[in-house]
A and B are shown apart, each in its own frame.
Chain A
Amino acid sequence: MPTEPDAGGHFGAFGGRFVPETLVPALDQLTAAFQEAMADWDFLGELDRLNRQYTGRPSLLYHAQALSRKLGGADLYLKREDLNHTGAHKINNTIGQALLTRRMGKRKLIAETGAGQHGVATATVAALFGMDCEVFMGEEDVRRQALNVRRMELLGARVRPVTSGSRTLKDAINEALRAWVSSVEDTHYVIGSVMGPHPFPQMVRTFQSVIGREARAQIQDETGRLPDLLVAAVGGGSNAAGLFHPFLDDPVQMVGVEAAGEGLDRRHAATLSRGRPGVLHGARSYVLQDAEGQIMEAHSLSAGLDYPGVGPEHSLWKESGRVTYTSCTDQEAVQALMQLAQSEGILCALESAHAMAEAMARAVELGPGKTIVVCLSGRGDKDVEEISRFLEAGRDGEG
């Protein structure tokens, strides 16, 4: 399996560059800057320094003994991206892109955000690098992720609520792309996942691969061998791609977990499980769409997974069979979140809870003596209110 795309950014039949002509020169410039930077020891040294001193890397690989014992199956190891500065894996990518922005001589950042984690991570690096920052966020997400909206504002960013379409992540990306077309000469669009036009899928995965590189070394230090299974949540798919990519050539199974929302026969965000190949937001990949190619609205309690597209490299991994993709409902995710919280004292993000639900089920299936690495992509503070509303609605439903 090729581990890098071709010169046009194609991962097999997926990826590429499907954007208005206005953006093409900026994408060429970005591709060149990225490739040069990756061969520049000064750039890599600065990235590494910020990862260590600012983000707090390496993130811990934590053996969740209590939970593993309770389940009576495989040993669960949690890659603690929730302990990064700003509370999620998103900062790995935004630091890299901010360094590239500076390298290209641009001073303004725009970003989209769903759960707000990428918005916060972008606002954070904008503050750190002295750059202007505007974040597009669906009005529905502004409501359900109010804490992160306030964080972005305190960091000096402007949050632009998006009122078109489903008022969630998809529409925030549309609006960010439109804003970028109008400002591309002095502005960099910090895409938050392994999606969008080339070079974004490759570039974001490269910056996120620090997760997998660390985990691969840490698990071998800890157990003396490679893990049996990796599990990560997949919305756009950046934490999963970051964890999986360094293990692609290893005899390790991988599972990506999508959001099944209210269930796969109802409203959901399970793009790889239920979508078809199509073109959305600059790349060819799996897309949730109707028979005539109109994009469908996704649904997940988790704002970060509430997206009808997915990164093109995941589409390749699905078609090649290298990675298995499954899904987990809102209900299952909330249960997993509470089980992790009450067994280990770790309150994870709703996104990460999807991975936890699958990992706990697999731990029981695999049985003792096996090891699983789960990407705990973010922390759960931002979700506390949304979970309370969900649990209350559930109680009302039963009453």
Chain B
Amino acid sequence: MAKAEIGQALARAAREGRAAVMPFLVAGDPSPDATVDLAEACAEGGADLLEVGWPFSDPIADGPSIQAAAQRALASGVRRQEVLATCRRIHERTALPVLLLSYLNPLLAMGDLDPVAEAGLCALVVPDLALEEHRLLRPAADALGLALIPFAAPTTTDRRLGEIGRTVDADAFVYCVSVMGVTGARQGLPEAALPLLRRARQAIQAPLVLGFGISGAQAVSEVRHAADGVIVGSALVDLIEDQGRAAPRAVAAFVRELVQAAHR
């Protein structure tokens, strides 16, 4: 089962005494080939898992950085075929578990999830799929061995955290949203992060991976004991836009810093 890769990667990081590091890249920004190179740079920097975003026209959970990256990718002609081929190449070249972040509508438009599994992906992260609607994807995801990653947010009640904990796939994790808000690097660690992780730990057995608003090594260091993993997206997307051709080297160095900071 593809999703077993996730549990293995999280367990390996734990054995090494650190939180797992999961960089996020937007497929096709600035180009599909570049995304594959950048993913390799993440692997070289020591990333444990990779999350790849499917550019969507109306990304309501994303702030300006990822919105702009998705717009650039779509404008350059990135379509479903490029997204899935990019994921497949990343999985082949890095041997890391690759999770697909996609808004729901592009997934529904496929009719079934077979192409996602065929691209070597191990999980779906769907920011506009509330727990109550998981049933729309659950049967297909289960049949294909894809994990369906649930979210927890600072506003999620303790009781609901418990419900979320009961829906997590055996090898997967709960995606804890560190901010009241959309994606985008924040100055310092968002203040809602640690309280959420503490509440979630009480209610949920599964690993907790923190994302949204994580800007760099300092923030990672502050949560390395409380979280089983961290997702860093917007900060990376900004770095890639800023660095142009030098991006792969800069990305490898940045991820290396994150991994260092994740050591307990």
A interface with B by C-beta (< 8 Å): 8, 16-26, 164-165, 170, 174, 177-178, 181-185, 278-282, 287, 289, 291-295
**Knowing A17-B133, A21-B131 touch, does A278 contact B155 (C-beta < 8 A)?**
no
Compute how far the CA of A119 lies from the CA of B22 in the bound complex, rounded to whole angstroms: 41
> What is the CA–CA distance of A392 and B29 in the complex, to the nearest angstrom?
42
Contacts of B181 in A (CB 8 A): 22, 178, 181-182
Which of A19, A20, A287, A292 has the most chain B CB atoms closer than 10 A to its own CB? A20
Give per-residue flags for B53-87: 1 if the beta carbon is below 8 A from chain A beta carbons, else 0.
00011111111000100010010000110000000
Q: Could you give, for residues 129-142 of chain B, a 1 whenever the CB lies within 8 Å of some chain A CB and a 0 otherwise?
A: 11111000000000
**Which chain A residues border B131 with CB–CB below 8 Å?**
21, 24
Structural contact, A181 and B180, CB atoms closer than 8 A: yes
A177 to B105 Cα, complex, angstroms:
17
* CB-based contact B132/A8 at 8 Å: yes
| In the complex, B24 has a CB within 8 A of chain A | no
- B156 close to A24 (CB less than 8 A): yes
- Complex Cα distance, B158 from A287, in Å, reads 35
Is residue B241 within 8 Å, beta carbon to beta carbon, of the partner chain? no
Q: How large is the interface on B (under 10, 10 to 19, 20 to 34, 35 or more residues)?
A: 35 or more
Beta-carbon contact of A278 and B130 below 8 Å: no
Complex CA gap A20/B179 in Å reads: 12
If over half of B's interface residues share one DSSP class (helix, strand or loop), that class is named, otherwise mixed; here it is: loop
A279 to B151, CA, bound (A): 19
User: Is B154 an interface residue when CB atoms closer than 8 A count as contact?
Assistant: yes
How long is the Cα–Cα vector from A16 to B59 in the complex, in angstroms?
18
Write 5 A-B pairs (CB below 8 A) sorted by A numbering.
A16-B132, A22-B156, A22-B181, A279-B104, A289-B105
Residues of A contacting B: mostly: mixed
Min C-beta distance of A317 to chain B, whole Å? 21
Residues from chain B with Cβ under 8 Å of A170 in the complex: 58
Within 8 A of A (CB), among B101-128: 103-110, 127-128
Known: A278-B109, A293-B109. A18 touches B130 (CB 8 A): yes
**Complexed CA–CA distance, A281 and B181 (Å):** 16
Q: Is the CB of B132 within 8 A of A295?
A: no
**Distance from A332 Cβ to chain B, minimum over Cβ atoms (Å):** 29
Complex formed: what's the CA distance from A25 to B79 in Å? Answer: 34
Residues of B within 8 A of A (CB): 56-63, 67, 71, 74, 79-80, 103-110, 127-133, 150-157, 160, 177, 179-182
* A294 CB, nearest partner CB in chain B, Å: 5
Q: Is the CB of A165 within 8 A of B57?
A: yes
- The listed residue (B63, B79, B104, B177) touching A22 by CB distance below 8 A is B177
Known: A291-B109, A295-B57. A17 touches B130 (CB 8 A): yes
A21 touches B152 (CB 8 A): yes
A16–B108 Cα gap in the complex (Å)?
15
Instruction: Tell me whether A185 and B106 are in contact in the complex, defined as CB-CB below 8 angstroms, given that A18-B133, A26-B155, A174-B58 are known contacts.
Output: no
In the bound complex, how far is the Cα of B152 from the Cα of A284, in angstroms? 22
B177 touches A21 (CB 8 A): yes
Contact between B132 and A181, CB atoms less than 8 A apart: no
Give, as a whole number of angstroms, the nearest-CB distance from B87 to chain A.
15
Cβ of A279 and Cβ of B128 under 8 Å apart? yes
Contacts of B59 in A (CB 8 A): 174
Which B residues lie within 8 Å of A22 (CB)? Answer: 153-156, 177, 180-181
- Complex contacts, A174 vs chain B, CB 8 Å: 58-60
Residue A18 contacts which of B63, B71, B104, B177 (CB distance < 8 angstroms)? B104
Report the nearest A residue to B105, measured CB to CB. A293
Please state if A16 and B133 are interface contacts (CB–CB under 8 Å): yes
Quick one: which of A164, A178, A293 contacts B106, CB cutoff 8 A? Answer: A293
Q: Tell me the bound Cα distance from A19 to B151 in angstroms.
A: 11
CA distance A19 to B58 in the complex (A): 12
Output the least CB separation between B80 and chain A (Å): 5
Instruction: Contact check, A18 vs B128: say whether CB atoms are below 8 A apart.
Output: yes
Cα–Cα distance between A170 and B67 once the two chains are bound (Å): 15
Q: Do residues B57 and A294 form an inter-chain contact, with CB atoms below 8 A? A: yes
Q: In the complex the two chains form, is A25's CB within 8 Å of B58's CB?
A: no
Residues of chain B within 8 A (CB-CB) of A289 are 105, 109
Q: Which residues of B contact A184 (CB under 8 A)?
A: 155, 180
CA distance A291 to B129 in the complex (A): 21
6 nearest A-B residue pairs (beta carbon) = A293-B109, A182-B181, A293-B106, A21-B151, A22-B153, A293-B105
